[in-house]
Structure 1
Amino acid sequence: MTLEFLKALFPNGMRRFVALFLVSLFLTVSIAACSESKSDSVKSQAKVATEDVAQVAPTGTLDDIQAAGKIEIAVPADFPPFGAVGTDMKPRGYDIDVANRIAKGLGVDSELVSVVGNYRIPFLQTDRVDLVISSLGKNEERAAIIDFSQPYAPFFSGVYGRPNVEVASFEELKGQTVGVAQGSLEDLEISKIPPEEIDIKRYANNSLTASALVSGQVNLIATGNVVAAKLIQDNPGQKIERKFIMKNSPCYVGIRKGDEELLAKVNNIITNLKQSGELDRLSIEWFGEPLPKDLAAVT
């Protein structure tokens, strides 16, 4: 079936549905034939089918959102402080606040759809939501099927301690006692330092690692900023602060491939939120610390 025939047969509003149905049928046949054909052939067929969808996918999503007066956004339901259900049974968190501000910037109401991690991208691809704002990281595999905004949220591993401990790099950890959750990503990073130069205390989980810092068993810990956010919130008198970032992996807004106008508008709104200091304020509210400098910079 040619693209011209498809355009003539179906109006604009039905093209995405028809195209997705054809791709689903085509890939099902291809997968069934895998045992009799080479995988490279299947990959080639899938690529052609994906390109056909890209050609017929409508580009008027922003117009549709504004005409409807609302935008549907996937947000986390079980990953505080990015998103969780509060005692009032309403979603609350950093991503929820960002989602509402992006809807406001678009001049429409926000309709939040709570999703768990594995369903974020499928919800976007099947048009159940218009955006994903749910602690979504960026990688090559995801970038092949959806588009990403500029980064809007911090997600990283860092070294934390009290103000009286002055360190700003891996090199300055020499001679320090550092707590870490055994087997964690932070454990892998901190283990790159020669063992004779640093005293590493390994604990069974993040909670015990945090407790070790509070109780004075260690003077620094290496952990994720989400763990640190709760630690800082629960122990305000300790004045725990970030010393430096070990490994950075910021979060992005996920947008359907081809929605160029919506992507440009979302990026513009995020830029305004950074320039006004609003994202920095939200970071302090939910994570207990300002945005990292590279994330706060306008891109």
Structure 2
Amino acid sequence: MSKTNFTRRTAIGLGLAVALLPASVQADTLDTIKQRGKILIAIDVSHPPYGMLDDKAKETGSDVETANLLAKDLGVPLEIVQVSGANRVPFLLSGKADIVIASFSITEERKKVIDYSRPYGVIPVVIAGPTNEKIKQANDLDGKTIAVARGTTADIELTKVLKPVSGARIVRYEDEATTNTAVATGQQNIFAAALSTANEVRDANPAKNLEVKMTMAAYPMAIGLRKKDDALRDWVDNWVTANLKNGKLNEIYKKYFKSDLPAEMME
């Protein structure tokens, strides 16, 4: 399926989801959370270091710590709703989650159907491959096959980068775990992913001698909310601003990504 058709079908499907959303879900979510006595936050626990399970099957990661901090400041317990990259938006729109904190980068396509908070992080998107592959620009991928998880920001950027490179072939897998397995098992040795995922695959497969070849883009990362959820969006925006200024969100980011957030983001 072409990216154009995929994007069109995704937008139509998400549009229908909004139209069919129950009236109760479209109500003031902030009041609903307080009345319910807990907040439902969608997190992808299969995407380290954003979300993962520890040796006791307990959720951990930067997104989990961010969600716990938000729930604590809101004064309600957190209930994690486990999602994948592909179903984050449908779970939000159907009311299965109140908000999404799942390495959720801001894209123009997603903004057509959901709202975002003020950004609280960044996600570099890269192409990685073996050290002996000479890849510094798009044309160096001519004649090569590149793996990527379907519908991710890496997929979006890879499609843009390779548009003028007719000899390159993209192999799209349904999720990041499957993509990573394809690289680990040698089905493809070049792949596109978020920087954190590329580093994870590299560390898990030292014999592959993988390294980051080029950075395609750096996406701002934000909390996903339903459209017209004005009271909750305002609260979340104020929460992000406060926790950027007090350094707590930077502490979480630095713990997992070994670097500080961009200085301009914390102003």
Give the TM-score category using the shorter length: 0.5 to 0.7
| d(CA) in 2 for partners of 1:69, 1:153 | 28
For structure 2, the 5+ residue unaligned runs are 1-11, 128-133, 148-153, 165-181, 187-191, 205-211
1:233 deviates by: 8.7
Residue of structure 1 equivalent to 2:266: 297
Residue of 71, 88, 103 corresponding to 1:103: 71
Amino acid at match of 1:279: L
1:288 aligns with 2:258: yes
CA contact (8 A) 2:48 2:200 kept: no
CA contact (8 A) 2:106 2:116 kept: yes
Q: Closer, same or farther in 2 for the Cα pair 1:178/1:271, shift >3 Å?
A: same
Residue of structure 2 equivalent to 1:248: 218
Amino acid at match of 2:85: G
1:125 deviates by: 1.2
Residue of structure 2 equivalent to 1:265: 235
Q: Closer, same or farther in 2 for the Cα pair 1:112/1:158, shift >3 Å?
A: same
CA RMSD of aligned residues (A): 4.4
1:79 deviates by: 0.4
Residue of structure 1 equivalent to 2:246: 276
TM (normalized to structure 2)? 0.62
Residue of structure 2 equivalent to 1:93: 61
Amino acid at match of 1:125: L
Amino acid at match of 1:60: D
Q: Closer, same or farther in 2 for the Cα pair 1:224/1:126, shift >3 Å?
A: closer
1:289 deviates by: 1.4
Amino acid at match of 1:115: V
CA contact (8 A) 1:147 1:257 kept: yes
| d(CA) in 1 for partners of 2:31, 2:83 | 25
Amino acid at match of 2:251: R
Q: Which consecutive segments of 4 or more residues in structure 1 shift more than 6 A?
A: 52-57, 176-182, 184-189, 231-234
1:67 aligns with 2:32: no
Matches within 5 A, 1:1-299: 50=19, 58-157=26-125, 183=146, 224-227=194-197, 230=200, 247-294=217-264, 296-298=265-267
SS at match of 1:250: strand
Q: Closer, same or farther in 2 for the Cα pair 1:104/1:232, shift >3 Å?
A: farther
TM (normalized to structure 1)? 0.56
| d(CA) in 2 for partners of 1:55, 1:88 | 39
| d(CA) in 1 for partners of 2:83, 2:99 | 12
| d(CA) in 2 for partners of 1:125, 1:68 | 18
1:128 deviates by: 1.1
1:102 deviates by: 1.0
CA contact (8 A) 2:44 2:83 kept: yes
| d(CA) in 2 for partners of 1:65, 1:151 | 22
CA contact (8 A) 1:229 1:288 kept: no
CA contact (8 A) 2:115 2:225 kept: yes
Residue of structure 1 equivalent to 2:169: none
For structure 1, the 5+ residue unaligned runs are 1-42, 160-175, 193-203, 209-221, 235-241
Q: Closer, same or farther in 2 for the Cα pair 1:105/1:207, shift >3 Å?
A: farther
1:274 deviates by: 0.6
Q: Closer, same or farther in 2 for the Cα pair 1:152/1:90, shift >3 Å?
A: same
| d(CA) in 2 for partners of 1:271, 1:207 | 43
| d(CA) in 1 for partners of 2:74, 2:24 | 25
CA contact (8 A) 1:59 1:260 kept: no
